[in-house]
Amino acid sequence: MEVINKYVTIKCHINGAPNESDFEIKTETFSLSVESGSNNVVVKSLYLSIDPYQINRMKSYSSSQNTISQAVGIVPGEAIDASGVGRVVASGHPDFERGDLVSGKISWGEYTIVKGANIDKLDLMGFPPSYHVGILALSGLTAYAGFFEVCKPKKGEKVFVSAASGSVGNLVGQYAKLFGCSVVCCAGSKQKVELLKEKLGFDDAFNYKEETDLESALKRYFPDGIDIYFDNVGAEMLEAAVANMNAFGRVAVCGVISEYTDTAKHAAPNMLDVVYKRITVRGFLCIDHMNLFADFISTTANHLRNGKIHVIEDISQGLESIPAAFTGLFRGDNVGKKIVQIIDE
């Protein structure tokens, strides 16, 4: 059987801040059956993950594109692969049958053909499917591995998190509080700051857009210095944090979103501080920490069942909302994990 498949693509490479007009919805005739002898699986998209890193794939060139297979450049006009949750509509692979729920790399489209070996059967574990795109998927693993493995926290340490109302940031703060650290964080609006203080119970939070001097602001919020900085934004925030780090502090460079859309921006932290305060500055990718996945899932699922972690999701409806959902990440529109629900089953 054939259907019309809709998918989102870029019209041309995007080298600055993305606009909705950079995207288009294409249609194609799509077969819902699997060729005999192939081990392919046809997946119907249910929930798709919207992630900032995709912008680096949309550029005509980014050094990131030469690093890992997940970061390769996107060709204008072609489908954009992305994490998501879907339902199997046809399978040539013995491990999958029609109706199975799956998670893994699908695409910003209604249907995707994937190799059976490249997708996982999804056990919902009693949680909504959207959790398996965010908190119980790579966003959650990024926060978990980044905080526990990269930052190597000790109880009582002082933690600073940027983009803290976002998908990764809010979880880092929550893991840090549960572990026994004090957490001060920042975000880009008054409402977000209220959420971080009132709902998530962080020790303090501020709106970085209202601060004219970030170094002094951090001095005010961390009179005794920062032990751990979980960096989601880069540039001047990273410089200000390094200036306020304590001796033997750790900086986990998770992402530098403020630099993704502005090629003129590069953090230039004071390297004398790095040397004399013996600060560890370490970039990391969640996919290097898949060995922690089982531990991350069981710990996080327990916290969820015990009501110890809040789930902050921001779900838009329909494939057509993908361009606005994605570009909104760079305007700070989202509160929590940005997801697009493609169909309501």
User: Which residues lie near ligand NAP (CB under 6 A)?
Assistant: 51-53, 139, 142, 163, 165-169, 187-189, 192, 232-233, 254-255, 257-258, 284-286, 329-330, 332, 334, 338
Q: In whole angstroms, what separates CA 130 from the centre of its chain? A: 14
CB 332 within 8 A of CB 189: yes
Q: How far is the CB of 179 from ligand NAP (least distance, A)?
A: 19
317: β partners? 341
Q: How far is the CB of 245 from ligand NAP (least distance, A)?
A: 19
Q: How far is the CB of 212 from ligand NAP (least distance, A)?
A: 15
45: β partners? 86
Q: How far is the CB of 24 from ligand NAP (least distance, A)?
A: 23
**CA 39 – CA 175 distance, rounded (Å):** 40
Q: How far is the CB of 1 from ligand NAP (least distance, A)?
A: 36
Q: How far is the CB of 263 from ligand NAP (least distance, A)?
A: 13
Is the CB of 167 or the CB of 341 nearer to ligand NAP? 167
85 burial via Cβ count (<10 Å: 0-12, 13-18, 19+) = buried
**CA 166 – CA 186 distance, rounded (Å):** 10
Is the CB of 277 or the CB of 310 nearer to ligand NAP? 310
Q: Which long-range contacts (CB under 8 A, 24 or more apart) does 195-198 make?
A: 195/165, 195/312, 195/335, 196/164, 196/165, 196/170
CB 180 within 8 A of CB 218: no
Q: How far is the CB of 115 from ligand NAP (least distance, A)?
A: 23
343 burial via Cβ count (<10 Å: 0-12, 13-18, 19+) = middle
Is the CB of 6 or the CB of 289 nearer to ligand NAP? 289
Which helix or strand (DSSP H or E) is residue 192 part of?
helix 190-194
**CA 139 – CA 49 distance, rounded (Å):** 9
Is the CB of 103 or the CB of 232 nearer to ligand NAP? 232
CA angle 200, 203, 208 (to 5 degrees): 85
Is the CB of 119 or the CB of 185 nearer to ligand NAP? 185
CB 320 within 8 A of CB 179: no
Is the CB of 279 or the CB of 335 nearer to ligand NAP? 335
Is the CB of 122 or the CB of 285 nearer to ligand NAP? 285
Tokens of 291: 């060995």
